[in-house]
Amino acid sequence: MVSLQLRDLGASYGKKLTIAAVSTPEFHSGEIVAVIGPNAAGKSTLFKRIAGLLNGPGEVSLSHTSKGKKAISYMPQDTSANAVLTVYESILLARKQGSRWSVDDADLRFIDQVMAALNIKPIAFRDLGALSGGQRQLVSIAQTLVREPDVMLMDEPTSALDLHRQVEVLSFMQAQARQKGMIVLIAIHDLNQALRFADKVLLIADGKMQACGSPLEVINADMLRRVYGVDARIEKCSRQFDHVIVDGVAA
């Protein structure tokens, strides 16, 4: 059982504080947390701060980290790469760091499993440079998964995927979070996917946390008008999932 809590977290590029005072309730194993907010709200900065790639005030409190695991794994938004490596090599790279050159069969077996699960085995030995944007995102997800983290931070992992693949990948991540007891934070623009897959939603705007709670607590007509500037309502689809219906730009 893992739990993650952000306490008064801020992040700075140089001397400028770009996000400040992000405090959340505890997130627990198996939970999907959607991090939403307008463009340039500070979502990627928050992820980099949680992953330890940026400095800043506050605390990332992670308890019950399983021994030997990589505690936090971050999937950056930019998945482009021009390295002359095959998909398989690039995923192996995510799992194998350190100074030992040899590769164990156990590592390769695990990579094969993850690739099969994400349906990317057909492109296993294609060069990274020859992949489409969607394929690159799937490879990036595989790289994050093979690190077997307790906490996964995925920065817009489905932005280049078609609708079918979006639903497929998010369902898969939900299943993975539940099975492996991970906490998965996903920065996402599609509020319908957030309503459908997230257990909690963290709203960030202008570098500050605006709200954090259950999807329907955070995503509502009032917030959509205030933060996104649109007139919208929440309705259920035929399968009883909540959906945002946008009527137009708020006056």
Partner 1 sequence: MAAADGSLLTEAVAEGRGEYRARTRRKLLILGGLSLALCFSFAVDLAWGPARYGLDQVVLALFNPDAVSAQVRTVVWDIRMPVAVMAIVVGAALSVAGAQMQTILANPLASPFTLGISAAASFGAALGIVTTVPLIPVAAGLIVPVNAFVMALLATLFIHFVSQMRGVTVQTVVLLGIALVFTFNALLAFVQYLASEQALSQVVFWTMGSLTKATWPKIWITLAVLLMALPLFARNAWALTAIRLGEDKAASFGVNVRYIRLETMLIISLLASVPVSFVGTIGFVGLVGPHIARMILGEDQRFFLPGSVLAGALLLSVTSIVSKSIIPGVVFPIGIITALVGVPFFISLILSNVRRSW
- What is d(CA 31, CA 52) in angstroms, rounded to the nearest whole number? 21
Exactly one of 33, 34, 36, 48 binds partner 1 (CB under 8 A); that residue is: 48
- Single residue of 38, 112, 159, 199 touching partner 1 by CB under 8 A: 112
Decide if residue 125 touches partner 1 (CB under 8 A): yes
121 binds partner 1 (CB under 8 A): yes
Q: Stretches 3-11, 87-95, 228-236, 243-251: which one binds partner 1 (CB under 8 A)? A: 87-95
The DSSP element (H or E) to which 197 belongs, if any, is: helix 191-197
Burial 174-207 (b: 16+ CB within 10 A, else e): bebbeebbbbbbbbbebbbbbbbbbbbbbbbbeb
Among 1, 68, 101, 251, binds partner 1 (CB under 8 A): 101
13, β-bridge pairs: 16
Range 147-166, binding partner 1 (CB under 8 A): 147
Q: How many CA atoms lie within 13 A of 73 on its CB side?
A: 19
Contact 42, 19 (CB under 8 A): yes
Q: Which residues bind partner 1 (CB under 8 A)?
A: 14, 48, 51, 53, 70, 73-76, 78, 80-86, 88-90, 92-94, 96-99, 101, 103, 105, 108-109, 111-119, 121, 124-125, 127-130, 140, 143-144, 147, 168, 171-172, 175-176, 179
